[in-house]
Chain A
Amino acid sequence: MISKILIANRGEIALRIVHSARELGIKTVAVYSEADRQSLHVLLADEKVCIGPAKASESYLNVANILSAVDITRADAIHPGYGFLAENAKFAEMCQTHGLIFIGPPPAIIRLMGDKNKARQTMKKAGLPILPGSDTVIDDFAVAKKIAAKIGFPVIIKAAAGGGGKGMRICRSSSQLEDQFPIAQGEAKAAFNDPSLYIEKYVSGARHIEIQVIGDSKGKVTAFGERECSVQRKYQKLIEETPSPFIDEKTRRKMMKEVEDAASEVGYQSLGTFEFLVDENRKFYFMEANARVQVEHPITEIVYGINLIKAQIRIASGEKFGFPFELVMRGHAIECRINAEDPTTFVPSPGKIDFLVLPGGEGIRVDSAAYGGWVVPPDYDSLVAKIIAYAPNRDLAIRKMRAALEATTIVGIKTNIPLLLEVLSHTDFLAGQYNTQFMDGHIAAKAAEETL
């Protein structure tokens, strides 16, 4: 059993873990940087330990200080949240050798999924369809050229250690590939300290759709209905919804079944998300799996009526686990990410929130660590709040979300709410006809309109 969890994270996810642990009767320890002294997760946790200066590499990524904080507070488990150390296999391993419960997948799973190319090959063997591409990582342009010629342009090169779009390049010709290959290598080296790349056939007009899984310690894996995450800009998701307006019941069942089988095959435990590209013919291809809880997990929770964080903690404590009722998807949920940024230029807008009104009421859930008077620090990501709307169908959920965003008042910093409202009124979005190029198209169209 777990009696005290140290939360190696900050912001809304840290707060969400505090609340979930408290419901389970488990104490929490917040760790924080000097920039987060006044943060809500610090103020609401049972104990707190300052672990370093604002810079993440010296605080939220400072393994020595985090494990020392475990020692001095006698915590028996660590929840890494998302980002920071969440997908660091070495850290998960260190927690284990330290006699701690790491609330996440086993280190071997984290390591496998962290190597994007290896994950792809393993999932192919486990039965998931993947896009044509390279079988191994490539460090030489000549090899890249040969593979690209075989699978046909356009192709996308990706960093094997990748994530967040870094080291990712779409190439439509051999000469473009020649130009982009070394740039992508350099970017991958800089971001992940690993220049290894791999190549995939590029599918334009595809959707980004993902399947949430949870695996217990007895080897049972459960998959949930899809999340549609195609509204993104620079590989950063902005709006997610479930179910997808594009996926039919047959495809859904097929995806869930195949993911369940593949995840069981590799012994998946804890929470995870399998990301897919889905083409216009609803053919789906495995892209990567994220071995952690994801930002957008609440929409799945809402349509199923469950709490994934609590489930994750209970599984980590070795409990025999089951949801209290049959898992059925009901209604429609949408999440909007409220970021502290200029809605037109996307320049981050940290600073003091002078006045804050967050929406509420029937069908609205807000996951946020913000409060009036709080200063959004410039040192971390710009997520201020996640607003989730739930209604019996998609149309009603969109209306509810619009009303919620209109009622949201954040004074002192700029937010992307105006942009989110534009999307929620966009004809293509309303029709459910959008793909990963949607945001770029919308932003370009707006810019063109302004120059007229």
Chain B
Amino acid sequence: MNDKNKQPAVPEESAISGKIDYDELRKLIGLLEEKGLSVFELEIEGLKIKIGRNAPQPAPSAIVPPAGPSAGPEAEAAAAAIALAIDVAKGHHMITSPMVGMFYRASDPASSPLVDIGDIVKKGQTLCIIEAMKLMNEIEADVDGTVVEIYGENAQPVEYGQKLFAILPLS
């Protein structure tokens, strides 16, 4: 089957390759939940993925401040860890909110959303509107790429630094 004279033009595909894709990662996360695991680490061809899940929390006592940021990734919320693993693995580019305000996916209530998952956007293209101080601020894409995730709910408040869109840059 393997012809020595024939070099593959593209890297060999394997079940889990160095270029892990989104569905594969989804499967991993599903597996994690199914098996009730809390942490899963995978290292393959220089790519390292660590996925964490919330372990059952002890009963809340009085005021227990969470461990400080340097207490390790285990202390962080599982959702954030999973999302981060996806972002890193996929090379997603994050569009975060540059201000505090109301998030709108369309330029007016009657219009359809400015972008949807799967849309290809150009750098400079308006992705959403954030209303702050009675002003409508257009939030633009700063890369060319495909919208792969939309985090904000229409007409909901967003804070500074909150994730709005994940874009897979065109390479």
Contacts and interface: CB of A to CB of B under 8 A. Distances in A.
Interface of A: 34, 37-38, 40, 43-44, 49-53, 59, 64-69, 71-73, 352, 371, 373-375
B7 interface: no
Interface residues of B, number: 19
B160 A51 contact: yes
Given A69-B100, A72-B100, A374-B65, A34 B161 contact: yes
Given A51-B100, A71-B102, 14 more contacts: A38-B66, A43-B66, A49-B157, A50-B159, A50-B162, A51-B160, A52-B161, A53-B160, A68-B132, A72-B101, A371-B65, A373-B65, A373-B68, A374-B68
Contact of A38 (B65, B102, B159, B160): B65
Closest CB pairs A-B (n = 9): A72-B157, A68-B100, A50-B159, A373-B68, A68-B132, A65-B100, A50-B160, A68-B101, A49-B159
Nearest to A34: B161
Contacts of A72: 100-102, 157
B161 A50 contact: yes
B70 interface: yes
Interface in B80-107: 99-102
B132 A43 contact: no
Contacts of B161: 34, 50, 52-53
B1 interface: no
A52 B160 contact: yes
A69 B101 CA distance: 7
A91 to B, nearest CB: 13
A32 B89 CA distance: 30
B99 A373 contact: no
B69 A37 contact: yes
B67 interface: yes
A371 B64 CA distance: 10
B97 to A, nearest CB: 9
A373 B71 contact: yes
Interface string B40-64: 0000000000000000000000010
Nearest to A375: B68
B99 A68 contact: yes
B68, B70, B71, B100, most chain A CB atoms within 10 A: B100
A129 B93 CA distance: 63
Interface of B: 63, 65-71, 99-102, 132-133, 157, 159-162
Contacts of A34: 160-161
The main secondary structure of chain B at its interface with chain A is loop
A375 B69 contact: yes
A53 B160 CA distance: 8
A38, A44, A51, most chain B CB atoms within 10 A: A38
Given A49-B159, A59-B160, A64-B99, A44 B132 contact: no
A125 B162 CA distance: 52
A373 B63 CA distance: 14
B70 A352 contact: yes
Contacts of B101: 68, 71-72
Contact of B69 (A38, A44, A53): A38
B68 A352 contact: yes
Nearest to A374: B68
B65 A68 contact: no
Contact of B100 (A40, A49, A352, A375): A49
Nearest to A48: B159
Contacts of A51: 100, 159-160
A71 B65 CA distance: 28
Contacts of B157: 49, 72-73
A53 B98 CA distance: 10
A28 B16 CA distance: 49
B67 A44 contact: no
Contacts of A69: 100, 159
Contacts of A71: 101-102, 132
B101 to A, nearest CB: 5
Nearest to B66: A38
Contacts of A352: 68, 70
A69 B133 CA distance: 10
B63 to A, nearest CB: 7
Contacts of B71: 373
25 contacts: A34-B160, A37-B69, A38-B65, A44-B63, A49-B100, A49-B157, A49-B159, A50-B160, A50-B162, A51-B160, A52-B161, A64-B99, A65-B100, A65-B160, A67-B133, A68-B99, A68-B100, A68-B101, A68-B132, A69-B159, A71-B101, A71-B132, A72-B102, A373-B68, A374-B68
B65 A375 contact: no
Given A51-B159, A65-B160, A38 B68 contact: yes
Contacts of A43: 65-66
A59 B100 CA distance: 10
Contacts of A38: 65-66, 68-69
Nearest to A72: B157
Contacts of A373: 65, 67-68, 71
B33 to A, nearest CB: 27
Contacts of B132: 64-65, 68, 71
A173 B101 CA distance: 56
A128 to B, nearest CB: 40
Contacts of B63: 44
